[in-house]
């Protein structure tokens, strides 16, 4: 049934934003125009924002195009320690007002922001292409997911603002209400530079918190553009403060600050654990136990059983492994294949992977673009060399050209389950193929890492799929489909073990991470009828 709120309109049920496939010539033209427009804006300066004021900084972060490192997308202010501390203090001051702002007003701002993103969809797509190397379709999926998060979390804020169920008690009128936590530090990743950044930021603020956003240094321009958009949507000064900078310079300080109430982080296991450790140490003047919301890494597997549709499995593995160059925490980095169909699967996978095009993502026909930076290129290349010694190279294995950070989609077969490339997160276009003796063995291999984010099983046997439901230990399990592409609302996203706190982004539970519950009980007099007041 439709959700209603006093927003001068009826709030319709949530519906995912459709992703464009760019078969419509009008969309192609619009995207090409956006790419040209954004390119003409390269080199622009973007400032930090504290309490609504744009401030100069001594240093700037140069955001470069990974497809052409000579191109500077923008120069983004790098906050000093003093400025980052001021941002926390500004957020704390603004919280005293923002926490009393009615949910319908907070949600209204986020709904307006979603509409502004729709109007500027191709512009954000273009920035995603240039700043982090996404293909057209991957970029549009990122932007569509950002819209989904805004729409979904705004509705959730209204739902949590309404009456919450409690058990009636004779002689009392009882209620439970959710109130915001305080100041949050928001640390998003570069791989979903728009969707995750926008999602974890707006979830915090629509719930009534204020925030300090420290974006990835590989994607600060997109974050700066979103901060500008929220200002246009009417977000009051100081509710969101924008302080790019290095983790060593400002990251540890704002996480440790005694006024910081919670940290929302998406990134690597190593950084996530470091943040958790810092947050656990109580600082002088700190009044609370800090809350950490962390979505970290993955070493995700797709099991291909002996009765699977091999062609479908090959397609699902290839798309999951090499979409956005494998730079997704949900990406398939291990295909675990039953020995009965192993040779057939490997032969078909080789042909499928060799069809993948690699090149500048600004060109519509390229499926894979560059990895995000030179450091990633070197790290992934080192893993490929390790993989060559642990298994047999089936496809790829080399850099593409000498301009930009391009790698071939790489497949290494006959990899032992305990090999380094079977266990360590590579975060790039490298797939390990592992032979399983049978389905029991496949499930055991699938669960042999420290992670537990996504996984998939291809099988025609319902009994095998039921076993996966029970035994495959991941936060997001997919049956007879790829292991990437979680949709807001439909596939609440988050993992187990070293994959994080299982935050379940895009779920009906997510805003609870940014709220605390207050119970209020009022004694009531008995009515003349002799009946006691119960509940509401």
CA 458 – CA 422 distance, rounded (Å): 20
Per the domain annotation, does 490 fall within a domain? no
Maximum separation of any 2 CA atoms in the chain, in Å: 87
In the numeric block, the tokens 């979103």 are attached to: 226
514 within some domain: yes
pLDDT of residue 526: 73
Same domain, 320 and 291: no
333 lies in some domain: yes
Tokens of 323: 């979409």
Catalytic positions, written as ranges:
295, 329
421's CB contacts (< 8 A; 6+ apart) are 383, 386, 387, 390, 391, 412, 415, 430, 432
Query: What is the rounded CA–CA span in Å between residue 68 and residue 89?
Result: 39
Task: Give the least confident one: 233-242, 403-412, 521-530.
Answer: 521-530
- Predicted local confidence at residue 6, as pLDDT: 41
pLDDT given for residue 535 in this prediction: 46
pLDDT at 5: 38
Instruction: Report the pLDDT value the prediction gives residue 4, as an integer from 0 to 100.
Output: 37
| pLDDT of 473 strictly over 60 | yes
Please tell me whether residues 311 and 243 are part of one structural domain. Answer: no
The answer, yes or no, to whether residue 536 has pLDDT greater than 70, is: no
Q: What number is the average pLDDT over the span 289-315?
A: 98
Q: pLDDT tens digit string along 65-86?
A: 999 999 999 999 999 999 999 9
pLDDT per residue over 31-53, tens digit each?
999 999 999 999 999 999 999 99
Per-residue pLDDT band for 209 (boundaries 50, 70, 90) equals very high
CA dist., res. 124 & res. 38, Å (int): 9
Whether 143 and 117 share a structural domain: yes
Q: Which residues have CB under 8 Å from 495's CB, separation 6+?
A: 295, 296, 298, 329, 451, 452, 453, 454, 474, 475, 476, 502
Give pLDDT, residue 529: 46
Of the candidates 234, 220, 151, the one whose C-alpha atom is nearest the C-alpha of residue 188 is 220
Residue 304 belongs to what domain range? Answer: 300-479
Let me know if 363 is exposed, middle or buried by CB neighbors in 10 A (0-12, 13-18, 19+): middle
Q: Is the pLDDT of residue 273 over 80?
A: yes
Residues 393 and 452 in one domain: yes
Per-residue pLDDT tens for 162-171?
Answer: 999 999 999 9
Residue 528 lies in a domain: no
Q: What's the whole-number mean pLDDT along residues 16-28? A: 97
Average pLDDT over residues 222-240: 98
Same domain as 286, residue 307: no
What is the pLDDT confidence band of residue 525, given thresholds at 50, 70 and 90? confident
Q: Does 495 reside within a domain?
A: no
Q: Alpha helices, DSSP H only, in 50-135? A: 81-98, 103-119, 121-132
Looking at the structure, do residues 232 and 370 belong to the same domain, yes or no? no
Residues 117-144 pLDDT 10s: 999 999 999 999 999 999 999 999 999 9
Rounded mean pLDDT, 406-434: 98
Question: For residue 3, what pLDDT is reported?
Answer: 38
Residue-level pLDDT at 95: 98
Work out the pLDDT band at 298, boundaries 50, 70, 90. Answer: very high
* Gyration radius (Cα) of the chain, Å: 24
Q: Does 209 fall in a domain?
A: yes
Q: Residue 534's pLDDT band (boundaries 50, 70, 90)? A: very low
Residue 10: what pLDDT? Answer: 80
Residue 277 lies in a domain: yes
Cβ–Cβ under 8 Å, residues 200 and 213: no
Q: What pLDDT score was predicted for residue 123?
A: 98
CA 278 to chain centre: 22
Q: Are residues 290 and 306 in the same domain?
A: no
- Residues 6 or more apart whose Cβ sits within 8 Å of residue 120: 229
Say yes or no: 289 and 305 in one domain.
no
Q: What are 456's strand-pairing partners?
A: 302, 478
On whether both 197 and 273 belong to a single domain, the answer is: yes
Per-residue model confidence (pLDDT) at position 527 = 65
Query: Could you identify the residue written with the tokens 């949530």?
Result: 14
For residue 304, what is the domain's CATH number? Answer: 3.40.309.10
Q: CA 248, 254, 258: angle at the middle one, nearest 5?
A: 135
Does 334 share its domain with 349?
Answer: yes
Same domain? 80 vs 207: yes
Q: What is the CATH number of the domain that holds 83?
A: 3.40.605.10
Helices (H), 391-461: 420-423, 439-446
- For residue 477, the cross-strand partners are 455
Point out the least confidently predicted range of 50-59, 149-158, 213-222, 521-530.
Answer: 521-530
Q: Is the pLDDT of residue 2 over 50?
A: no
- The verdict on residue 20 lying in a domain is no
Indicate whether 530 pLDDT > 80: no
Average pLDDT over residues 505-512: 97
258 contacts: CB under 8 Å, gap ≥ 6: 283, 284, 285, 286, 287
Cα–Cα distance measured from residue 226 to residue 240, given in angstroms and rounded to the nearest whole number:
11
In a shared domain, residues 307 and 285: no
How many domains does the chain fold into?
2
Q: Percent of the chain at pLDDT above 90?
A: 95
- Crossing angle, helix 121-132 and helix 25-39, to 10 degrees? 60
pTM (two decimals): 0.95
């Amino acid at each position: 049934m439709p959700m209603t709120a006093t927003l001068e309109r009826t709030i319709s049920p949530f519906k995912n934003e459709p992703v464009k496939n760019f078969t419509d010539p009008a969309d192609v033209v619009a995207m090409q125009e956006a790419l040209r427009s954004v390119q003409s804006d390269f080199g622009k300066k973007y400032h930090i924002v504290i309490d609504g004021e744009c401030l100069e900084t001594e240093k700037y972060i140069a955001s470069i195009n990974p497809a052409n490192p000579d191109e500077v997308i923008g120069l983004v202010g790098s906050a000093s320690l003093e400025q980052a501390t001021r941002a926390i203090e500004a957020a704390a001051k603004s919280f005293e007002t923002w926490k009393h702002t009615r949910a319908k007003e907070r949600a209204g701002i986020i709904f307006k922001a979603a509409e502004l993103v729709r109007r500027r969809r191709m512009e954000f797509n273009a920035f995603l292409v240039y700043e982090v190397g996404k293909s057209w379709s991957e970029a549009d999926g990122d932007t569509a997911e950002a819209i989904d998060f805004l729409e979904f979390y705004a509705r959730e804020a209204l739902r949590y603002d309404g009456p919450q169920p409690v058990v009636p008690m004779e002689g009392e009128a009882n209620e439970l209400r959710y109130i915001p936590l305080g100041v949050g530090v928001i640390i998003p990743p570069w791989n979903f530079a728009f969707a995750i950044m926008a999602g974890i930021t707006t979830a915090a603020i629509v719930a009534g918190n204020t925030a300090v956003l420290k974006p990835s240094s590989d994607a600060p321009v997109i974050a700066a553009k979103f901060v500008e958009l929220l200002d246009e949507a009417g977000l009051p000064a100081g509710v969101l403060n924008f302080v790019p900078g290095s983790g060593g310079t400002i990251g540890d300080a704002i996480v440790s600050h005694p006024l910081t109430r919670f940290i929302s982080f998406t990134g690597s296991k190593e950084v996530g654990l470091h943040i958790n450790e810092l947050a656990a140490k109580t600082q002088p003047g700190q009044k609370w136990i800090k809350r950490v919301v962390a979505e970290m890494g993955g070493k995700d597997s797709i099991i291909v059983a002996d009765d699977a549709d091999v062609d479908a499995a090959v397609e699902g593995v290839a798309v999951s492994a090499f979409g956005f160059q494998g730079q997704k925490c949900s990406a398939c980095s291990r295909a675990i294949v039953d020995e009965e169909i192993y040779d057939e699967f490997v032969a078909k996978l080789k042909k499928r992977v060799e069809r993948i095009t690699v090149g500048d993502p600004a060109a519509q026909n390229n499926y894979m673009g560059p990895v995000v930076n030179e450091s990633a290129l070197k790290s992934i290349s080192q893993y490929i060399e390790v993989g060559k010694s642990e298994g047999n190279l089936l496809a790829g294995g080399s850099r593409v050209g000498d301009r930009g950070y391009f790698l071939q989609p790489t497949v290494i077969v006959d990899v032992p389950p305990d090999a380094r490339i079977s266990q360590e997160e590579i975060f790039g276009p490298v797939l390990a193929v592992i032979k399983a003796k049978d389905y029991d063995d496949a499930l055991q291999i699938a669960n042999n890492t420290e992670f537990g984010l996504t996984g998939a099983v291809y099988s025609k046997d319902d009994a095998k799929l039921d076993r996966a439901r029970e035994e495959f230990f991941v936060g997001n399990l997919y049956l007879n489909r790829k292991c990437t592409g979680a949709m807001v609302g439909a596939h609440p996203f988050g993992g187990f073990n070293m994959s994080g706190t299982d935050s379940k982004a895009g779920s009906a539970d997510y805003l609870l991470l940014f709220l605390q519950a207050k119970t209020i009980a009022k004694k009531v007099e008995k009515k003349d009828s002799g009946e006691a007041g119960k509940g509401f």
